[in-house]
Structure 1
Amino acid sequence: MKGASARMEEAKRQMDRASALYIREFISKESLDAAVTAYKTNVANYKSSKARLAASYSRKNAAEAQLNTAESRLNAAWAAVRQSEANLAYNLARLSYATIKSPLSGTVVFRALEKGETVSPGTAVLTIVNLKNLYARIDLEETRIGDIKLNGPAAVMTEDIPGRVFKGKISEIGRYAGFATQRDVSRGRQDIKTFRVKVALEDPGGLLKPGMTVEVEIPERIQSGSGKQGG
């Protein structure tokens, strides 16, 4: 642009000089016309260069505007991504609150609530039993406690499965006496108390269920009890 301006100014000086010389009849009319034509040509070139420069600035401004628009859209897109990530984290957290995980493996034997019900902290939702670790719990009179020992044999029967005898062994003997099975109402004899005893059951077929009433036979004596989950 500066070069075109300089050439135009130089052409004007040459034209003015030619005009002065022509008036004094030092040059011909053709020489004057040539100087005028050269000046007009340089003026046209200057205007063309100026127009091209203006067009370049216009394209530059348009490109900068497009760049600013693209940056704004990119920032908006990143903001939307961050918002989506926050929403995802929030919903995953809420989903984790709705997912109940059991600390042990087993079989659900009771469901206290149905889908859609509200659960308060501390509310029992499911009862899970490890059916591979069942035991029978009996209260053995203190007069018999000396006849048994840990890992001693036992036989278990239930009316729910007639004719079937399940093997068992004594897995736990209570350390303290519990309630009395016979009370001394006449003060003529002592109360007979009981000890809590657990009998581990062998049930490879999975026939026994938690809560069944069973009979436990320990060396020629039969005691009543209830089937319970071990643990």
Structure 2
Amino acid sequence: MKLLGMDCSSLNISLAAMDNDEVIFSLNRKRKKAAAKVIVWLEELLKDKKLEVNDFDMFVIGAGPGSFTGLRISFSIIKAFAFSLKKPVISIGSFYSLAYKLRKKSSKIAVFCDAGRGLIYGATFRFDEKEGLRKSRKESFFKLEDFLRKFKDHMFVTYNYHLRDEVLFFEEKARLWPKNIWPDALSLCRVAKKYFLGKFTSLDRLQPLYIYPKECQVRNLFIAKEKK
């Protein structure tokens, strides 16, 4: 079973492919405005491995939250692949990849990112050997200090470096993972294989998790008008 994964929800543009438990390739590039190059990088990776998109059994997409442009590009690509090749898609919140990498470090993990306007966007996860990794609180808006107090028994992780000092300002004893961890496609492929096989998203319901969806609808309408 071959999986092709993509996550463009953050500054880290990520592609990965797996054949059962074997990693075929994994690419992570942290550049501004790099999402526009993701299809070029994918073509290079496939050519190097002598593969075609049709060789994959399913696609895995990081649903966000995150970059409007990155999510719009990655979802457009995956939708086009799935529609033209009639292959299924597993859509997974990008925070899952961070929680997956830390699941052996803490049984309770709180993942968050900067949402602007003085807010953060966060979700929580729990892990145990019997039930595996599961989301215990879906993505929601919080003030950072409220998030830290509400989930003080969790390990906190973010990929927004500038928020780290704020965490320690509000809660100096907070268990904050000491390094930035980015959403990545390889972790999402592993999450999909372990916890989401068979849980496919139909193309008509395949939507990114935008932080401010109403504003994104306006931007999408503006982009559509510009193309006419």
TM-score where L is the length of structure 2: 0.15
Q: Which has the larger radius of gyration?
A: 1
TM-score where L is the length of structure 1: 0.15
Work out which structure has the larger RCO, using CA pairs closer than 8 Å and 6 or more positions apart in sequence: 2
